[in-house]
Amino acid sequence: MAASDGIPDFPMPELPEIETVRRRLHGVLKNQKIVAVKTERDDYIFYDKDEPRAVERAFRDAVVTGSGRKGKYFWLTLNRKPWPVMHLGMSGNIQIRRKQKNGKLVPTYGWGGLGLYHNRGKKADLTKPPRFCRLMLTTKSGIQVAITDPRRFGRLRLSEDPEQSPAIRRLGMDPLGEFPSAKKLFEKLQKRKIAIKALLLDQKVFAGVGNWIADEVLYQARIDPHCLASKLSPAEVSRLRQKLMSILKTSIRLEADWSLYPKNWLFNFRWGKKTDAQDSRGRAIMHETIGGRTTAWVPEVQYKVPSS
């Protein structure tokens, strides 16, 4: 979705986008043999820990056996180690090219469903990698998968055991993984004297939750983003948990395609810091900085709770 639609060209991929990419990669690559690998040999930003040649060796002639994800990190499991662990950064995505019966390649995209940064406004030349391609894989059956990243904040690293790698071990609760009950979550939050908006963004606590999701959750749960996590009532924590799960499941079901999100979501109105911004019912949206991040919230809905 373009900036003219009110949503910026480069919103950071969050848990729904990452899970959509993981599922699509899993669907097309499982049990496939990788026969060709193309990297940017001089890219030591995307490949910040392992040289591109080492990544090529890890992939070439390996068979993809599955995939995994925690928070905003995801990985492919291969029939040998090491395995590639990826982070899409601020603007990462994938493009998948499949052959039709007539032999022509047809591209499909990862999250968003809108093509986003891929040859926008131009007819794609499928004889070449897509724009901003950092990695291209080709399977024995002819499927091509490209990891793209316009801003190069994404990373690919090799790991013998992704879940035990330092970056992933530091992550907290994944809402789609082993997430605590409302009662246990309330007990955890009782110990945290920090604004709930800031806490939701702490990846050591809520793995995968990003800025727009945190704002959407608090809006739908009718919780003031300034409220200390320790001051939330059991009922508020229960609503927060329920809305978090609901928003994530809806976003993933829609494959992180923003154009399909429910029209009453704050997501559709929160961007741009407009002074006259309103939600779907005409209520004023305020923009403030909380926990170092821009926060969009609706005071008329999210009644203010004393912070101490």
**CA dihedral (19, 20, 25, 26) positive or negative:** positive
Give the pLDDT score at 162: 97
Q: Which fold has domain 3-169?
A: N-terminal domain of MutM-like DNA repair proteins (3.20.190)
Is residue 205 within 8 Å of 185, Cβ to Cβ?
Answer: no
- In CATH, the architecture of 182-297 is Orthogonal Bundle (1.10)
Phi/psi region, residue 134 (left: phi>0; alpha: psi -120 to 50; beta: rest), is: alpha
Cα gap 90→112, rounded to integer Å: 14
Looking at residue 284, the DSSP 8-state letter turns out to be: B
Taking the mean position of all CA atoms in its chain, how far away is CA 25? 14
The domain ranges of the chain are: 3-169, 182-297
Is residue 86 within 8 Å of 73, Cβ to Cβ?
Answer: yes
3-class SS of residue 76: strand
Cα gap 60→127, rounded to integer Å: 21
pTM of the model: 0.90
Chunked mean pLDDT (size 10), the chain, 308 residues: 46 88 96 96 91 97 98 97 95 87 77 55 72 94 92 92 96 94 97 97 96 97 97 97 97 92 96 93 96 95 67
Q: Which residues pair with 77 in a beta bridge?
A: 66
Give the pLDDT score at 10: 53
Cis previous bond, 82, omega within 30? yes
Cα gap 197→225, rounded to integer Å: 5
How does strand 133-139 pair with strand 34-39? antiparallel
Instruction: Report helix angle 234-253 to 182-189, nearest 10.
Output: 120
Q: Which residues pair with 99 in a beta bridge?
A: 105
Give the residue from 177, 255, 178, 217 showing the smallest Cα distance to 16: 255
Give the pLDDT score at 1: 36
